Amino acid sequence: MTELDCLVIGAGPAGSCAALRLLQLGYRVGLVERASFPRDQIGEALTPGIRNITALLQADEALTDLPHVAGRPSLLRWEQDALLPIPHTDTAVVSRADFDARLLALAASRGARLWQPAQVLAIEGQPEAWRVQVVEPATGTVSQVAARWLFEATGRHGAARTRWACAPNLAALWAEFDATQVDPECLAATRVEALPDAWLWAAPLPGGRLRIIVFADPHAVGGQPQSLWHRALTSSRSLQSLADLAPAQPLRVCSAAPYLDTAAWRHGRVKIGDAAFALDPISGSGVEKAMRFSLQAAVAWHTWSDATDEAGRSLAEQYFSQQLIQTCARHVSWCAAHYARAWSATNDFWRARSTPPRPRAASAVPTPDEPAAAFFAALAAAQSPEPPPAHLDRWPATTRVRLDSACQLVPQLCVVQDRVCAAPALTNPRLPRAVAFVADQALAPHWPLLHREQTLGELHDALAHAMRPEAAGAVMTWLQRSGVLVQAA
């Protein structure tokens, strides 16, 4: 019997990221991956936010010479029906096969017990005492594993009755062209184009191939992906020449449907990454969000594992659910606004995606899969009007200031020293979310100081007495820029 604290099932970015974080937190970790690596995987454009995550995981060295394409110009056809250059983006296109394999190898080199290729045959038991059977088909070896917690990171494949469609369904058609088949112009830039009834992404991959993905309504794909592909490329501003050309490999179709799993948390057994939620690929941030949520799930487990009472365990669950719901709600809200800005936004495909979902009317047939009202509350918060412009003017030090009268302290879930706790945080209608810390400084202990009417100079001096000078400067700047500090009448 192999004894572990945590068993992670699935070793995509979410699973390996969770394993690496759990190892950092001192747990005995196992990973079961059913595919041999390197394996084929879509989703190669990585957003710059991933760098913070790999830095936290101390994974940068393992990724240093990862083949990638970066620094190419980007061309966008979105708000206008014309292909326009966009300011430099920091997105890198990597080989996902390599990226995933390196993260997994790093987790194994740091002590994660790895079964690959392998599958879970059976799971029995209860939280803190799971018994899992893992089979390695190549040898027929069956391992018995005891684990306290299970992390399911098996991606979007597999059916889950508890998945709730938080945005309209989407299908992806994709193919690659060899560098020899295409005009070098096509390989010189990343392109994103809004088309009349679909959108496309085209970019050179490390190795020189051009990948094109067309995203459309699954009904439009129907049984004839080839004709949609042809229509999409013909209506493109830059890739028409490829419409009649056979790609280097057959056209492939997969689901790109956004969803949220309403049962991602079960005591002792949680879902992470695409097993818990999938985002509309328009933001290109699926991998980053999957990895970030793995970090949050690891902290939830760390909190749960350490808790001495039900209240402590409940904080872990609340934090997990809150992060899941807020990630999806903010993304759904952002996507709807982004779709609404497209030049073709009056067409059906675009109109459907420009409207965020609404809660069912009370009279409607209730469905067990409808997420908690929390999703719609988070969606409403994400859609609330932009805060007024920050005070970018420089007030003289003699200006009399005070906190805006709508400021309040409310308990908010925060992570302090890798554990979830409820800490008082400052709320104000001008803030997109409650803020407990600025520059690593808790705001609540300074509440009396912040709350009194005084000159800017007095406030700065008082903060500089209470904390490091750089932190005092950062808090002052935040107070002014966020708009919560106002001039006293």
**Considering only residues 115-144, where is the footprint of ligand FAD by CB under 6 A?**
119-120
> Phi and psi at residue 130, in whole multiples of 5°?
-85, 145
Toward ligand FAD, which CB reaches closer, 281 or 424? 281
How far apart are CB 475 and ligand FAD at their closest, in Å?
A: 34
Strands (E), 316-457: 400-403, 408-416, 419-427, 437-438, 441-442, 454-455
Contacting range for ligand FAD; rule: CB under 6 A; set: 245-253, 277-285, 396-404, 465-473: 277-285
Sheet hosting strand 84-86, strand order edge to edge: 84-86, 74-77, 190-195, 198-204, 210-216, 171-177, 252-255
What is the C-alpha separation between 160 and 178, in angstroms, rounded? Answer: 37
Toward ligand FAD, which CB reaches closer, 205 or 382? 205
- Exposure letters 87-116 (e unless 16+ CB within 10 A, then b): eebebbbbbbebbbbbbbebbbeeebbbbb
How far apart are CB 159 and ligand FAD at their closest, in Å?
A: 12
**Strand-strand pairing, 210-216 and 269-271:** unpaired
How far apart are CB 162 and ligand FAD at their closest, in Å?
A: 16
Torsion of CA 360, 366, 372, 377, to 10 degrees: 20
**Considering only residues 302-321, where is the footprint of ligand FAD by CB under 6 A?**
none
Residue in 6, 7, 12, 22 binding ligand FAD, rule: CB under 6 A: 12
Alpha helices in 307-372 (DSSP H): 310-340, 348-354
DSSP 178: -
> Of the candidates 283, 184, 192, which has an alpha carbon nearest to the alpha carbon of residue 237?
192
Residue in 193, 217, 261, 274 binding ligand FAD, rule: CB under 6 A: 274
Q: Is 172 in the site for ligand FAD (CB under 6 A)?
A: yes
How far apart are CB 41 and ligand FAD at their closest, in Å?
A: 6
Residues 26-45 as x/- pattern, contact with ligand FAD by CB under 6 A: ------xxxx-----xxxxx
Please list, in sequence order, all residues whose beta carbon lies within 8 angstroms of the beta carbon of residue 162, skipping any fewer than 6 positions away.
261, 262, 263, 368, 369
Contacting range for ligand FAD; rule: CB under 6 A; set: 127-135, 137-145, 150-158, 463-471: 150-158
Q: Is 262 in the site for ligand FAD (CB under 6 A)?
A: no
**Considering only residues 42-81, where is the footprint of ligand FAD by CB under 6 A?**
42-46
Contacting range for ligand FAD; rule: CB under 6 A; set: 11-19, 105-113, 189-197, 236-244: 11-19
Q: Is 15 in the site for ligand FAD (CB under 6 A)?
A: yes
How far apart are CB 452 and ligand FAD at their closest, in Å?
A: 47
Residue in 8, 11, 221, 233 binding ligand FAD, rule: CB under 6 A: 11
Residue in 10, 204, 247, 356 binding ligand FAD, rule: CB under 6 A: 10
Toward ligand FAD, which CB reaches closer, 157 or 360? 157
Tokens 């013909």, residue?
234
> Of the candidates 246, 257, 192, which has an alpha carbon nearest to the alpha carbon of residue 45?
192
Toward ligand FAD, which CB reaches closer, 168 or 286? 286
DSSP 135: E
Residue in 54, 95, 190, 285 binding ligand FAD, rule: CB under 6 A: 285
How far apart are CB 16 and ligand FAD at their closest, in Å?
A: 8
How far apart are CB 214 and ligand FAD at their closest, in Å?
A: 10
Toward ligand FAD, which CB reaches closer, 12 or 356? 12
Sign of CA dihedral 405, 411, 412, 414: positive
Residue in 157, 341, 451, 468 binding ligand FAD, rule: CB under 6 A: 157
Toward ligand FAD, which CB reaches closer, 10 or 424? 10
How far apart are CB 166 and ligand FAD at their closest, in Å?
A: 14
First to last CA, the chain: 71
Q: Is 214 in the site for ligand FAD (CB under 6 A)?
A: no
Residue in 153, 182, 264, 407 binding ligand FAD, rule: CB under 6 A: 153
Toward ligand FAD, which CB reaches closer, 32 or 382? 32
The contact set with ligand FAD (CB under 6 A) reads: 9-15, 32-35, 41-46, 119-120, 153-155, 157, 172, 213, 254, 256, 273-274, 281, 284-288, 290
